[in-house]
Chain A
Amino acid sequence: MRVNFVLSEVATGLRRNLTMTVAMILTTAISLGLMGTGLLIAGMISDMKEIYYDKVQVSIFLADDVTDEQRSAIEAQLSDSPEVANYLYESKEEAYARFQQQFSQQPELVENTPPDALPESFRVELVNPERYEVIAAEFPNGQNGVDQVRDEGDFLDRLFSLLNGARNATIAVAVVQALAALLLISNTIQLAAFNRRNETNIMRLVGASRWYTQLPFILEAALAGLIGALLAVGGLVLTKVLFVDKTLAGPIKAGIIPPVDWGAIATIAPVIGAAGVGLAAVAAYVTLRLYVRL
């Protein structure tokens, strides 16, 4: 196959309908960028789940005036309970140390918190995290030295359902955009095929294979897909540098949100590239098959 010839056809084709090509590239870029964002959020969610979920599911905070007998009674009850998989005692000092570490980036907050402000607690891991109610019933608030029982999982569930919602919404918009991008690609290819119908007809008459006549169009779409993907990756990089690393710096350093690291973007970039090139090429091929008689 004459590479020069095919490439010159591709270049001519892209130049000839510049407006359509630009629209096609931008739509593809937006769609792929959103897809990448969705993937990044998904990665973030699973990182966060690892950080949070395994740890505490139920916290039993003890009252300030808890007696040693009450504390041992609670501990005995926990170690006997079939619902409890594991538990951990955290003293006021340990709670304060952890607090200091967690908020080391916000020294004013640490300074303004007296060391004994944080309650001692039992951190309880349940056999079945859904059975929070049972534990809560066993340790009524404000009785027997228990101040409060809190379902940490409940908070996490709400947090993660929010994050999942954000991820799903992003991906849904990405899919709609992808649909628009595919239609634009199809349209551009039909237009390109129409513009070049003379050349293509002559090619067919002198015995060019279907593959030979279609390849320039498919490459054209694939190239546009690739450019779109590069723009999308560029967008992700900018989002990381200008938004995530700046606006979310505090919570990331505090360990509340995992950072978006370059590794994640480097992993997603080839996925976006392959999706852009692959979808565009397939869209072009299907268009030529269904709508264009070459």
Chain B
Amino acid sequence: MIELQHVTKLYPASARPALDDVSTEIDKGEFVFLIGSSGSGKSTFLRLLLKEDDPTRGTVTVNGKTLNTMSKWQVPKLRRTMGCVFQDFRLLRNRTVSENVAFALEVINKPHRTIKRVVPEVLEMVGLEGKANRLPHELSGGEQQRVAIARAFVNRPLVLLADEPTGNLDPETSEGIMLLLERINRTGTTVIMATHDYHIVDSMRRRVIELNGGQITRDQTRGVYGVGR
């Protein structure tokens, strides 16, 4: 359902490619860790899937659609089939927890009735029932990330992209977030998570794609973070 063919991404500012001839395939329902040191190209990989940027060479396919030839006005439709979560949560500061989640449905014109029903459901799923009316700054980091996950998942995306979602969280909180992502994965949603947290990768034993200087140096089905660590 996601395919990259000989994808190279060069940013105008730098001489070294952020992604260098990357080819891989990810099936529906998979849970994939994208690992590698800082600057290895993980975020770029995810940005290309969201069509936040276009590859310099090669083709990116998501849900059978080639992103390279997709016109700009079709991008919103693509993104409605994908959810995304970031290290810095990216919540609206002046809106409550439930407003933040509802926001994702409002902007895609879901009816009011549906929003009223679905938002409490998903807040309960991420364990935030009772905190619906708080503002983001009244929540812990882990709770904020749960709001972000609720927002990403609320319209049942086919794919969930997570860029270092536990990067700002302590190990215990991270574990809770991972359980949540696993649960989302069990509903059939493909999860692609960029991370360099080896504890998490090692304990989950899922597919690992390792990037190094923009190239895939390892692709292992039940991998650990570092070979020989």
Residue ranges of A at the interface with B (Cβ–Cβ < 8 Å): 1-2, 5, 198-199, 201-210, 212
Contact = CB atoms under 8 A, between A and B. Distances in A.
A205 B92 contact: no
Interface of B: 50, 72-73, 76-80, 84, 90-93, 103-104, 106-109, 151-152
A209 B80 CA distance: 10
Contacts of A209: 73, 76
Contacts of A2: 106, 109
A4 B152 CA distance: 23
A205 B77 contact: no
Contacts of A199: 92
Contacts of B107: 203, 206-208, 212
Contact of B108 (A201, A202, A207, A210): A207
Given A205-B84, A206-B79, 5 more contacts: A202-B90, A207-B77, A208-B76, A209-B73, A210-B76
A202 B77 CA distance: 15
A201 B106 contact: no
- Counting from the closest, the 4 A-B pairs by CB-CB distance are A208-B107, A207-B80, A207-B79, A206-B104
Nearest to B73: A210
Contacts of A206: 79-80, 103-104, 107-108, 151-152
A201 B76 CA distance: 12
A204 B90 CA distance: 12
**Interface of A (DSSP majority class):** helix
A5 B112 CA distance: 12
18 contacts: A1-B109, A2-B106, A5-B106, A199-B92, A202-B90, A202-B92, A203-B107, A205-B50, A205-B84, A206-B152, A207-B76, A207-B77, A207-B80, A207-B107, A207-B108, A208-B76, A210-B73, A212-B107
A292 to B, nearest CB: 14
Contacts of B78: 207
A5 B107 CA distance: 9
Given A198-B92, A201-B90, A202-B92, A208 B72 contact: no
A204 B77 CA distance: 11
Nearest to B105: A206
B108 A208 contact: yes
A208 B108 CA distance: 6
A6 to B, nearest CB: 10
A111 to B, nearest CB: 77
A98 B92 CA distance: 78
A198 B80 CA distance: 18
Given A1-B109, A207-B108, A210-B73, A202 B79 contact: no
Contacts of B80: 206-207
A263 to B, nearest CB: 45
Contacts of B103: 202-203, 206
A105 to B, nearest CB: 65
A202 B104 CA distance: 9
Nearest to B148: A202
B171 to A, nearest CB: 27
A205 B72 CA distance: 14
Contact of B79 (A5, A198, A204): A204
